Structure 1
Amino acid sequence: MGYGNCFKGVFRAFVVTVIALFVLAIITNFLDVSDGVKSSSLLIISLLSVVYGSIYSARKNGKNGWINGMIVALFYMMIFYVLAGIAGRGFAFNYRDALRVIIALVSGTLSGMLGINTRD
């Protein structure tokens, strides 16, 4: 299995995240947005990034899509939480964080399967 493609998928997922967070920051700078909307937006951005990275990785590897997707989601979430902890959020891990990780793993796994089944 080509783990290099998994890490490329994680990198691409973070590129999507950075771009989307930049757009979100611009929007929230000009509009009054509640914390609930910001939190939901962050979850959606994270999941879309995981989906993109998982599909990319699975398509490049050509096999074991579910494992590729799961690896991308797992490493993405680990790096995401480390960076969030360093940025000042803290390293506490609560039930909401666990739920986000589970949702990301399921999304990554399913996206990896989708990436294999939609190959040209």
Structure 2
Amino acid sequence: MNSNKTSINYGVLLGKSLILSFIVTLIFFVLFTLILTYTKLSENLIPLIDSIILIISISLGAIKMSINTSKRGFLNGGVVGLVYIVILIIFSMIFMKDFQFSTYTLTKLIIGLVTGILAGMIGVNLK
């Protein structure tokens, strides 16, 4: 019974960490969209800003997860990064008719995983 409670707690922590990550993503994308709309900022910066927002969002979620689990930060952070990207891929598959798994998608998956691992290691040491 204790194992079941532990897995439920882990799932809740993972869910809260992912919600934090997606809220941060939403806030940053809204701000970036406003900046892009009302300034002469080049649209060529979109892929770079997208990656920066991705890294910040996953980092905050992975740090939150690792602080709350207090061990195996690299693993917990990696799970946050991986699940975050998988959720984005699923939404892309649902809402984009021409979505294709490409090297760009694979690169984002690797960036998400590595960012989560590194942020998880930072988070476990912040407690």
TM-score in terms of structure 1 length: 0.90
- 1:94 Cα deviation after fit: 1.0
Counterpart of 2:49 in structure 1 is 41
Kindly report which structure 2 residues correspond to 1:1-120, keeping only aligned pairs within 5 A, or say none. Answer: 2-88=10-96, 90-119=98-127
- For residues 27 and 86 of structure 1, the distance between their equivalents in structure 2, rounded to whole angstroms, comes to 28
Identical-residue share of aligned pairs (%): 28
Counterpart of 2:3 in structure 1 is none
C-alpha RMSD of the superposition: 1.6
Structure 2, unpaired ranges of 5+ = 1-5
- 1:89 Cα deviation after fit: 6.8
- For residues 89 and 33 of structure 1, the distance between their equivalents in structure 2, rounded to whole angstroms, comes to 29
- 1:62 Cα deviation after fit: 1.2
- For residues 36 and 115 of structure 1, the distance between their equivalents in structure 2, rounded to whole angstroms, comes to 33
TM-score in terms of structure 2 length: 0.85
Larger radius of gyration: 2
Structure 1, unpaired ranges of 5+ = none
Aligned residues: 119
Q: Deviations over 1:32-90 (max 9, x none)?
A: 33333011101110110000000000101111111110110011001112223434374
